[in-house]
Structure 1
Amino acid sequence: MASRYCLVFSIAFLIGSLMAVISSASNFNQDFEITWGDGRAKILNNNELLVLFLDRISGSGFQSKYEYLFGKIDMQLKLVPGNSAGTVTAYYLSSKGSAWDEIDFEFLGNLSGDPYTIHTNVYSQGKGDREQQFHLWFDPTTDFHTYSILWNPRSIVFYVDGTPIREFKNLESIGVPFPKDQPMRLHSSLWSADDWATRGGLVKTDWTKAPFIASYRNFNANACIWSSGTSSCTSPSTKGEWLSQEMDLASKQKLKMVQEKFMIYNYCTDTKRFPQGFPKECSRVSEEIRK
């Protein structure tokens, strides 16, 4: 077991040159704290690499030291390789309390050779049930890829390598709750959920393949930091264009292409879950996709 850990760390140290990011990025010790895992989460490579481990005893996780109220969050992840069935790598923004807000990326493990599934969800005031799932068009285990969340008062957009895969618009005007009042921390964890994660729980975790490993680098947050009830975005000069950003025509076309080719589940088409009618936002989402 020890030799395998050493091999993993050696490979991690040999990762190629990091992408150029702003000065506040790529220091995991500065931006994050390890929250659980009993030593299974490690910050390496001069604070530029974070590695999570999962074995039969425990997974591991971390969270941001800062809370954000709106932002453009980027992180590069390299997901669990090989037979990762039953594992979940979660990467999400979440607030506190029983009526919490949350914006989710979850990467559901697979059998070797099968595509990874990206599970997305949006919670507002403690209510979710807004899942969309996608298959990735590349192998996310052989290299790092950038997964981004744009969250502003107008919308939430999920990106993979700069390509939008999902948009959740602010539709409070028609009675749809939208996360806009509660600051959120960025969290990530690697854990076992083999009762549902792979083929609905039909494929269980093969613990002979443990430890399972997910790697992180190049965190970047262009965001409003929330502290003591005050936002760091107190004047126009502190606000980036992301705070009012909307998708242009080219981005909408990319979104439509991804949803047509790679979406495998959409709550807005699941009649079994919503026999009495879909949530209010679904008619607007369907209209946008048809355009």
Structure 2
Amino acid sequence: MTKMSSLLGFFVGLVLVGVAASSNFEELYQPAWAFDHFIHDGELLKLKLDNYSGAGFGSKSKYMFGKVSIQLKLVEGDSAGTVTAFYMSSEGPNHNEFDFEFLGNSTGEPYSVQTNVYVNGVGNREQRLDLWFDPTKDFHTYSIFWNQRQVVFLVDETPIRVHTNLEHKGIPFPKDQAMGVYSSIWNADDWATQGGRVKTDWSHAPFIATYKDFTIDACECPVGVSSSAASPENAKRCSSSEDKKYWWDEPTMSELNLHQSHQLMWVRANHMVYDYCTDTARFPVTPAECVHHRH
């Protein structure tokens, strides 16, 4: 086994079961569409969007629990109308999904990052924030951590969102569908920038998102195991037992620690610009998980 990651890297070196981290695109992923819009530049992978097509890739395997990360440098300059996404998703109408969507901007405007969580095919859980750095100038790490207790979205290891398991309150939680890992860039100028008021300026094309360091440290589910329906076998296979211990089941991984909680509070106080939980126009009745979530 190679060195394993943890939620914030505090627990490196634990002798626990996991999938060896990898930074090789070809080992983990394959192009999903628009192969001619992929550019390989040394250790870098670039996805290109022009007025003919965007591009996307997906993982070769599906996973249950663990942590997935990419390093990404977003489209520079006027990227209005474009969306670059990094997400996990299962299949079928009752799918689960965890989304990072990076919404393009007009030159000089801040990039927005929208996150969303789908459970059993139901989404509408958008949160949006402005980042505390320019994501077009350097690579930054975007991660999704997932276990049976929580889903955590992280930017450079700072938690920006937590979706907690509230099954004891009768609220469904995504924990029985294996998920693939995906990324793509596409034109979404009907909604992405200022609600669709700012359109894509194709004179600035091609728009290029640049990737490196693809890491998956998660429980791989065998090919042929259904990911479109609830599968207790997946959860059992990827949960700790007497004969195997997974790092994501460690007690320290069950909730944020004090430092992480303070980081999340700082992000919410200083950078959040939209939270579905407070949108009374869309949700006259507060969504159930918003009532119970501490974050």
Q: Count residues with an aligned counterpart.
A: 263
What do you get for the CA RMSD once the two structures are aligned?
1.7
2:14 corresponding residue in structure 1: none
Q: Give the share of equivalent positions with the same residue, in percent.
A: 52
Q: For 1:35-184, list aligned pairs within 5 A.
A: 35-45=32-42, 48-184=43-179
Deviations 1:157-216 (A, max 9, x none): 100001001000011111211111110000100000001000000100010000000011
- C-alpha distance in structure 1 between counterparts of 2:286 and 2:202, whole Å: 40
Contact 1:222–1:240 under 8 Å retained in 2? no
Q: Which runs of 5+ in 2 are unaligned?
A: 1-18, 226-232
Contact 1:28–1:49 under 8 Å retained in 2? no
1:243 corresponding residue in structure 2: 249
1:263 corresponding residue in structure 2: 272
Contact 2:239–2:249 under 8 Å retained in 1? no
- C-alpha distance in structure 1 between counterparts of 2:240 and 2:256, whole Å: 24
Q: Could you tell which deviates more after superposition, 126-135 or 234-243?
A: 234-243
Note closer, same or farther for the CA distance 1:220–1:238 as it changes in structure 2 (3 Å cut): farther
Note closer, same or farther for the CA distance 1:204–1:221 as it changes in structure 2 (3 Å cut): same
**2:87 alignment partner, SS class:** strand
**1:39 alignment partner, SS class:** helix
Q: In structure 2, give the amino acid aligned to 1:224.
A: C
- C-alpha distance in structure 1 between counterparts of 2:97 and 2:69, whole Å: 16
TM-score normalised by structure 1 residue count: 0.86
Q: In structure 2, give the amino acid aligned to 1:36.
A: W
Matched, 1:280 2:288: yes
Note closer, same or farther for the CA distance 1:163–1:278 as it changes in structure 2 (3 Å cut): same
Note closer, same or farther for the CA distance 1:258–1:82 as it changes in structure 2 (3 Å cut): same
- C-alpha distance in structure 2 between counterparts of 1:123 and 1:24, whole Å: 26
1:205 corresponding residue in structure 2: 200
- C-alpha distance in structure 1 between counterparts of 2:142 and 2:239, whole Å: 27
Contact 1:194–1:204 under 8 Å retained in 2? yes
Q: In structure 1, give the amino acid aligned to 2:269.
A: E
- C-alpha distance in structure 2 between counterparts of 1:179 and 1:43, whole Å: 35
TM-score normalised by structure 2 residue count: 0.85
Q: Compute the displacement of 1:239 (Å).
A: 4.1
- C-alpha distance in structure 2 between counterparts of 1:114 and 1:238, whole Å: 49
Q: Which runs of 5+ in 1 are unaligned?
A: 1-21
